[in-house]
């Protein structure tokens, strides 16, 4: 498989060459990278919400109305654009009225999907919208189709967004919120092909049409964007059925879920901490399958929606390993290593390359679950290597994609070729500055990158580097800065040309002005 799956006009040559040629066509800016591509996902799962985000107003952990201050401050540094909630599988057993009113009077429920623990519903609609306000991001709420009703969904949207003198708006006022909120995105069910109801696409398409009818726009100045449940990985028939039977006028987005498993075996996914170069390479090979998956779904959508009105919403993605030993297996706790940072960089480059169709992506998950940004333990908090990729790449948000020509080495793994260097560049439409991000997938070999920039008289260059001495390097509460960005001194600017000494197993960002 050729490396052109990563960026346009990319060729693979033997890895031993350790040389990379790159040309940035800054005079040919393309589609805009929507900020929502850097979105996040927080489900009522394990310690994501309770402990990671919500500690309660009486907690000794510093909080604002029960929400952890350190988590909010860390996420705000990422310019977090959107947060998806309450699930995930949890969404289709969640009844929103259980999560409003005095917390002491809210009924508890069993979280049947994730560990069988009791959910006390102390974090509900008001708490989530408070979190969104503290983060300064948009809300993406996922409604209950699997065990809910159209009336329940309709009333939730009214409760959230209506300013009228109406039953649900008045109920919101009774619970302490006079003005309606703005909810920019609403998902009509989650994984309806699986935990959301085990439906066939034909059945879900009809059900979506019914439920969507009752997702009303109570505020004409702030219409709700409606997302339909899309495919599981390579279920291309699901996308075909949805585009044909629902069509581009009844939905604003169609979701896609794809997780990276080192082994590809859900029964034995692999360890997040104990792995060698074989699982390093297999993990990267599987994450690069995102290119083929997005490309094929996009082609199907293009048939029915040539104007690209419907966004492809990759609202669950990331690495999924076996749970950490000694933890509740239903809590999906895993560590986060340099390998995960490389995975994040590769996926963002794929999303950028499909910016015309991919309008949102939400990594799973924000805190303490799967490929998390943040890990907490009581009052302690640590930023993961993946967090730092989001922080380094945030300048891509809203940028115009710059076409690339890339020739790089590759690593053969079975019938796949894994490019040594992956690259993406965007141009700030206001300042004209270019942000170039580079990922070196090789765990052992650096690469000399010769880069030309067409269409920009470059005068200034600054860079940052994320790497570590070992591929298994992690950040812990005792050593929180093992994997953290540092200034990058390995790039030199000579007119319109750059020479870059790209270290092994690294993520680099360069700002070119």
Helices and strands, number each (H, E), in the chain: 10, 27
Distance (Å, rounded) from C-alpha 392 to C-alpha 79?
Answer: 11
What would the two tokens of residue 184 be?
A: 């920019």
What span, in angstroms and rounded, lies between the C-alpha atoms of 124 and 216? 21
| Cβ-contact 26, 451 below 8 angstroms | no
Strand partners, 110: 118
Q: Work out the number of other CB atoms within 10 angstroms of the CB of residue 414.
A: 9
**Rounded distance, CA 37 to CA 33, Å?**
7
3-state secondary structure 194-235: CCCCCCCHHHHHHHHHHHHHCCCCCCCCCCCEEEEEEEECCC
CA distances from 189 to 165, 169, 330 (A): 28, 23, 21
Which one of the listed residues 138, 289, 291, 316 is annotated catalytic? 316
Helix (H) or strand (E) holding 236: helix 236-245
Owner of token pair 């490389």: 342
Residue 402's Cβ-side half-sphere holds a number of Cα atoms within 13 Å equal to 30
Q: Which residues contact 81 (CB under 8 A, 6 or more apart)?
A: 35, 36, 38, 39, 137, 138, 397
| Residue 385: both structure tokens together | 């290597």
Task: Count the alpha carbons within 13 Å of 133 in the hemisphere toward its beta carbon.
Answer: 12
Q: Which of 191, 291, 391, 407 is catalytic?
A: 191
Q: Cα–chain-centroid distance for residue 129?
A: 20
Q: Examine the residue annotation and report whether 316 is marked as an active-site residue of this protein.
A: yes
Whether 308 and 318 have beta carbons less than 8 Å apart is answered as: no
Catalytic amino acids? Answer: 191, 316
């Amino acid at each position: 498989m050729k490396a052109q799956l990563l960026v346009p006009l990319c060729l693979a040559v033997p890895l031993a060459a350790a040389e990379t040629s790159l040309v940035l066509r800054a005079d040919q800016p393309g589609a805009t990278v929507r900020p929502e591509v850097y979105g996040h996902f927080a489900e009522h799962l394990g310690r994501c919400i309770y402990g990671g985000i919500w500690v309660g107003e009486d907690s000794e952990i510093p909080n604002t109305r029960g929400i952890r201050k350190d988590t909010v401050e860390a996420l705000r540094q990422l310019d977090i654009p959107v947060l998806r909630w309450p699930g995930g599988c949890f969404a289709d057993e969640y009844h929103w009225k259980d999560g409003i009113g005095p917390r002491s009077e809210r009924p508890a429920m069993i979280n049947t999907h994730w560990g069988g623990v009791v959910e006390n519903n102390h974090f509900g609609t008001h708490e989530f919208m408070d979190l969104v306000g503290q983060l300064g991001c948009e809300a993406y709420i996922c409604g209950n189709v699997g065990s809910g009703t159209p009336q329940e969904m309709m009333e939730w949207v009214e409760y959230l967004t209506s300013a009228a003198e109406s039953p649900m708006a008045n109920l919101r006022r009774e619970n302490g919120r006079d003005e309606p909120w703005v909810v920019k995105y609403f998902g009509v069910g989650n994984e309806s092909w699986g935990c959301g109801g085990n439906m066939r696409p034909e059945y879900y398409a009809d059900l979506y049409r019914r439920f969507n009818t009752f997702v009303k726009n109570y505020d004409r100045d702030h219409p709700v964007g409606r997302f339909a449940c899309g495919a599981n990985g390579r279920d291309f028939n699901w996308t075909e059925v949805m585009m044909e039977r629902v069509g581009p006028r009844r939905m604003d987005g169609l979701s896609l879920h794809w997780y990276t498993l080192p082994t590809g075996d859900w029964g034995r996914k692999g360890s997040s901490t104990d792995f060698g170069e074989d699982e390093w390479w297999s993990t990267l090979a599987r994450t690069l399958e995102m290119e083929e998956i997005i490309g094929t779904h996009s082609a199907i959508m293009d048939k029915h929606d040539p104007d690209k009105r419907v966004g492809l919403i990759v609202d669950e993605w990331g690495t999924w390993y076996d749970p950490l030993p000694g933890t509740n297996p239903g809590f999906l706790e895993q560590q986060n290593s340099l390998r995960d940072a490389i995975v994040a960089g590769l996926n963002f480059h794929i999303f950028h390359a499909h910016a015309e169709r991919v309008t949102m992506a939400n990594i799973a998950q924000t805190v303490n679950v799967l490929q998390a940004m943040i890990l907490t333990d009581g009052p302690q908090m640590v930023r993961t290597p993946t967090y730092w990729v989001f922080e380094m790449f945030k300048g891509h948000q809203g940028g115009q994609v710059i076409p690339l020509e890339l020739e790089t080495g590759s690593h053969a793994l079975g019938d796949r070729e894994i490019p040594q260097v992956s690259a993406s560049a965007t141009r700030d439409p206001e300042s004209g500055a270019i942000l170039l991000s580079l990922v070196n997938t090789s765990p052992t070999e650096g690469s000399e990158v010769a880069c030309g920039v067409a269409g920009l008289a470059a005068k200034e260059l600054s860079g940052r580097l994320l790497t570590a001495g070992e591929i298994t390097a992690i950040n812990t509460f005792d050593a929180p800065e093992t994997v953290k960005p540092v200034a990058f001194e390995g790039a030199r600017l000579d007119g319109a040309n750059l020479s870059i000494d790209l270290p092994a197993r690294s993520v680099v960002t360069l700002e070119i002005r």
